[in-house]
Structures are given as C-alpha cells and as structure tokens.
Structure 1
C-alpha cells in the first residue's frame, strides 16, 4: 500500500539490520523503497541492496553537500544508470544551509562546484530519460534557475523528477510543479512547528505527491529523535490524510501510483 520514495538503507545505522527492517516494512504495509545513492563510492553497495530484493530500487548520484569524493561525470552517471534496478539520477541539487558554520566561512559564490555538479546530473538524466531526485536547502532560487537553464521546463527534452524532503514555500512548490516536478514530503510534516509546510502539503495536487522517510533521518512523530526507517512512512501518509480529510489508504495508494508513474520500471 505504501511506498518509501527516498531512504538511505546503506548508511551505518542499518548495518546488519536488513531482516529486521524488511519485517517492519511488511508489518506496516510498506511495499517498496527507493534506495538513494549519495556518492559514487557508495553506489556499488546501494545497487547491490536494490538487486538483492525485488521491492527495492536504486538511484545513482552525488549529494550536493559531499566534498572530498569522486566528482561524477555525465558518463559516470549514464553508465551506472543503465544497470538493472537503477531508476533515477540523484540525489542532486544545491545546499546553501548555514554557510558560515558548515562551509568554513565560504560564500554562496564559492559553491560553483555544487552548481556545476548539479548541471552534470541534469544532463545525464536528460540523456538517459530517467528522473532527477532534487535536494534543495536554502537554495531554491538557484535550483529553479539552473533547472530552467538546462531545459527542465516540462518539455520534450526534460527528464523531470521530484523535489525530495520538501521544506520550501508554497511559491517554490508551485514553481516546481509548473516545471513538471513532483513534490515529496517526509516526517518533517508531522513536526509541531511545521504548520507552514502542512499548508503546502494541503495545496500540492494529490497526483503530484510522493511520501518518504529520508531514513535514517527525520523520524516522524511519535518517533521523532529516533532512527528513522521505511516502516514509518505511513505516519507521513496519515498526516496528509488528516489535512485532506481522506482515508490514509487513499494517500498510500495515490502516492504509490505516482511513484510508478515517475520511476518507470518499478513493479506494481
């Protein structure tokens, strides 16, 4: 019934826990998960996990925040995306959050390497016709501008994709929707101080929405502060159901249909 469209099951928090995680998913009626790649060094492990289970899939990409890792070329991404069970490019995008604290005093202008990396991912996605998984944090204006500059406008050339773990404004959501992208909501939607985000979730059309955990991060209420895992994604669906006065089953079914529509090749 439910699909976790974004999780990091190869991270250290899950070492040796896959039987437990999969049992919890089954009990929670979470039928599928997309395992996200954040470095090329990590890709082989992500791909092996997706290849080992019929209801897991993989992406290939280098997270915008990762430094000191192999810088991807279009060819790197294209070749890996051709492997079985790889259904998306990313996660990719821009992250300008807390520049002073996290980037050693560098300015947004100093992050041209992030913007170049983002363009590489977009071009690879367009070449292989697979959707982008977009990460944007305090960088929405540049994210949207680069997508438009690279032809991601919903036209024939565009790869499309999803703005994952959405935390931006309604205006940004409208702009992303206008470009043909989906919007994915995480456990943040359940947090007490997320009233503005809940308004965005009430606005986004149900046929353009996904749900996710971003495991091991951002566990929803009532598990906030604990290690997140895909079995908790129904709590995100429940929050959306309450916002829309719909049964949670309707949210699970709709977001799972959307997952199939966006990520071609996944099984129903």
Structure 2
C-alpha cells in the first residue's frame, strides 16, 4: 500500500471527492493526508479527514497566506487544532521567496509559529520551501537546537544543501511528481542519496501531475507514478518502495500509527 503524504482534497468538490478516493484505493494508494493552508481551511481539512477512514489531516497556514485572517497565528492557536484524532501534523508552512505573496518578515514569523506548534504538540511539521533554502535551513537548525522536533520537507525540489542540513537534524524528505519530470536529473540524484528510512512520496495534488499525466489535474491515485520512479532511483521493487515509504510515514506521523 502507498500513502500520499501530502495532498489538497479541498480542491476537489464534495461531489468529486468520493470518486477521487475510490480511484486512489483502486491504484493501491490506501491512505492520504489533506493539508491545511489557512486556519479556516484547516478546519475544513479536519472535517474531510473525519469523514473518511483513510484520510488524515495537517493544520496550518501556508506562506502565501501568512499574515491573513487577523495576522500571524499564535503557536497555541495552531496547536489547539491538533486535538482531533485525525490531525497528525502541522502545516503546511515555510517560506516562499519565488512568489513572495506575503512580506518575508511576516512569512518568517508565521513559520516560527508553526515550528513552535510542532514543538508544543510533538507532531511533525510539513514544510513548504521555495527559493528560500538558506533561511529555511537556518531557522530549522536554530529552533531544533532549542528543542528538537520532527519535520518533513514536502514536495522537495530545493538544492542538495537544504536536504543535507535537514537530514542532519533528523528531517524527512518527500518527493512529488517533479521527480518524474525529464529535466529533474539533479533531483533524482539527491533522492538517491537520501537515507532510505527518511523518504516519503506525495502528489501535492491537484498540482504537479507526474509523467505521463503532465498538464492534467493531479490526484492521490497518481502517487503510483512518482513511487515507480523513486523505486527505480533507489534500486527497489515497487512493492518494496511502497512498504518502505509507508513504514517511514508511520514513523514520522506517529499519531497515524
């Protein structure tokens, strides 16, 4: 069984979601995590997870939304959303200097609040990193030195330096459909060097449909395509890769064990 460790089920309508879940199950994707991007949307994610046995949720504020909904949330406010049994992590949060939809100092304050929430709850933090490798790594290292916490670099497409610095403090790395793109040789080389016990797979659907589905709306069933490529990169059979990434998922997201 595969687990899609990061998707956005709220982008599918209430009418569409049953078929999306059915196609995932038919493809061998037995579980998935739907991700929060704002406080209000995080509550929707919790409701979707509560309504489906094989769906989990993370709660948090995406860097694009940092500073909205009344400003940067307190860590305690984020942590309070995790009391539901289907909430297994914090996020996604992080830094995005490519789109810069929120001021960078506000993004940093938002990210720091999420790190603190992860420390308060002992739940892993799903991290969005785009064109901000140095600041992401520095914030993680400083916070980890104060109080260790678990985290996942989701939809990894950053440089080797961020991967190595994150792995050095116990981080996990998740690969999306980007791994399957023809020009992703450097990313596949990084994936090859990630310790086997720290790697996960995801779709980030409805974005980033993998080869051979480029240009189409992505969905959790398509985890299989990324898993197939990752299996080849790591020299594993597809069933072995599914077992490995599922074990890693349970080790990281202990509340889903």
Work out whether the TM-score is over 0.5: yes
Picking from 174, 188, 195, the partner of 2:185 is 195
* SS of alignment partner, residue 213 of structure 1: coil
The 8 Å contact of residues 66 and 110 in structure 2, kept in 1 or not, is answered as: no
1:233-256 per-position Cα deviation (integer Å, ceiling 9, x unaligned):
011110011112221111111000
Match of 1:18 in 2: 17
Aligned equivalents of 2:25, 2:109: Cα separation in 1: 40
Aligned equivalents of 2:75, 2:164: Cα separation in 1: 29
* SS of alignment partner, residue 189 of structure 1: helix
Match of 1:144 in 2: 137
Aligned equivalents of 1:232, 1:163: Cα separation in 2: 20
The 8 Å contact of residues 50 and 56 in structure 1, kept in 2 or not, is answered as: yes
Q: Unaligned regions of 5+ residues in structure 1, if any?
A: 104-109
Q: Unaligned regions of 5+ residues in structure 2, if any?
A: none
The 8 Å contact of residues 39 and 63 in structure 1, kept in 2 or not, is answered as: yes
* SS of alignment partner, residue 236 of structure 1: helix
* TM-score after normalising by structure 1: 0.91
For this pair of structures, how many residues does the alignment match? 255
Match of 2:159 in 1: 169
Match of 2:94 in 1: 93
Structure 1 residues 68 and 124 mapped into 2: Cα distance closer, same or farther (>3 Å)?
Answer: closer
Q: Kindly state the Cα deviation for residue 67 of structure 1 after the two structures are TM-superposed.
A: 4.9
Match of 1:107 in 2: none
Aligned equivalents of 1:203, 1:149: Cα separation in 2: 24
Q: Kindly state the Cα deviation for residue 122 of structure 1 after the two structures are TM-superposed.
A: 0.6
Match of 1:28 in 2: 27
Picking from 114, 124, 143, the partner of 1:131 is 124
Aligned equivalents of 1:148, 1:246: Cα separation in 2: 32
Which structure 2 residues correspond to residues 1-268 of structure 1 after superposition, within 5 A?
1-11=1-11, 13-67=12-66, 69-70=68-69, 71-99=72-100, 110-150=103-143, 152-153=144-145, 157-267=147-257
Q: Kindly state the Cα deviation for residue 68 of structure 1 after the two structures are TM-superposed.
A: 6.2
* TM-score after normalising by structure 2: 0.95
